[in-house]
Amino acid sequence: MNARSIDLDTLRRDLETSEQDAYVRAMAVRAGTGWGLYHCWALIGAEPPQWSEALWEYQDHAFVACRVPAAALASLCSPEAGSALALGPLAVSVPAAIGPAHKNRHPSHARHERAPLPVPAADVTIAPADRGSRNVPQTILVGEGVPSFPEPNSAWRAFSEGDFSLIGAQGPPDDLARLRFAEDGAWLGRVHVTPTQMAVAVEGSRVNGAELELFGESERSSRRLEAAGEVTFPLAHGLPAHAWLWLKRGTMWLDYRSIDPGSGWTGDLDRAGVEIEVPVEPQVRIEALIASGEGPQVVKEYLPTKQSRRTLKTVAAFANGDGGTMVFGINRDEVTVTGVNEDNPPPKLRDHLVDLVRGTVFPMPHVEARDYRIDGKLILVLEVSPGTHPPYGLSTPDTRDKPEYFVRRGASTFPAQPNDLSEAVLSRRVTEGGTSSRFAG
pLDDT at residue 66 tops 70: yes
Q: Which of 203, 158, 183, 130 is nearest to 61 (CA)?
A: 158
Residue 283: what pLDDT? 61
End-to-end CA distance of the chain: 27
What is the average per-residue pLDDT within 168-179?
A: 82
Instruction: Tell me the chain's radius of gyration from C-alpha atoms.
Output: 30
Query: Span 394-414, mean pLDDT?
Result: 76
Cα three-residue angle 109-192-383, rounded to 5 degrees = 130
Average pLDDT over residues 178-192: 95
- Strands of 187-193's sheet in order across: 229-234, 197-203, 187-193, 274-276
Most confident of 243-252, 340-349, 419-428: 243-252
H or E stretch covering 337:
none
pLDDT at residue 433 in the model: 41
Query: If pLDDT is split at 50, 70 and 90, which confidence band does 432 have?
Result: very low
Question: Which comes out higher in pLDDT, residue 72 or 136?
Answer: 72
Nearest to 156 by CA among 168, 137, 170: 170
Distances from the Cα of 291 to the Cα of 178, 213, 287, 428, angstroms = 52, 26, 6, 32
pTM here is 0.64
Per-residue model confidence (pLDDT) at position 276: 87
Separation in Å, CA 282 to CA 42, 196, 235, 261, 372: 50, 10, 12, 20, 8
Q: Is 287 helix (H, G, I), strand (E, B) or coil?
A: helix
Contact 159/54 with Cβ under 8 angstroms? Answer: yes
Q: What is the pLDDT of residue 289?
A: 62
pLDDT, tens only, 247-294 = 999 999 999 999 987 776 777 788 888 998 865 555 666 666 666 555
Pick from 28-42, 301-315, 337-351 the range whose average pLDDT is largest: 28-42
Looking at 189-193, 205-209, 236-240, 394-398, which range is the least confident one?
Answer: 394-398
pLDDT of residue 437: 32
Measured CA to CA, the distance from residue 124 to residue 4 in angstroms comes to: 9
CA atoms within 13 A on the CB side of 287: 9
Q: How many other CB atoms are found less than 10 A from the CB of residue 37?
A: 25
Per-residue confidence (pLDDT) for residue 435, from 0 to 100: 35
pLDDT bracket for residue 240 (50, 70, 90): confident
Whole-number Å distance between alpha carbons of 210 and 440: 19
Q: How far apart, in whole angstroms, are the C-alpha atoms of residue 31 and residue 33?
A: 6
Q: Which of 46, 48, 41 is nearest to 63 (CA)?
A: 41
* pLDDT of 438 higher than 60: no
Q: Is 139 within 8 Å of 153 (Cβ atoms)?
A: no
Who's near 339: CB < 8 A, 6+ residues apart?
A: 329, 377, 378, 379
- Report whether 94 contacts 82 (CB < 8 A): yes
25 has a pLDDT exceeding 90: yes
Which secondary structure element, helix H or strand E, spans residue 406, and what is its range? strand 404-409
Q: Give residue-wise pLDDT tens across range 207-235.
A: 999 999 999 988 789 999 999 999 999 88
> Does residue 236 or residue 343 have the better pLDDT?
343
Residues 6+ apart with CB under 8 A from 309: 356, 359, 360, 394, 396
Q: What are the φ/ψ torsions at residue 301 (nearest 5 degrees)? A: -80, -35
Percent of the chain with pLDDT over 90: 48
The answer, yes or no, to whether residue 374 has pLDDT greater than 90, is: no
pLDDT band at 439; cut points 50, 70, 90? very low
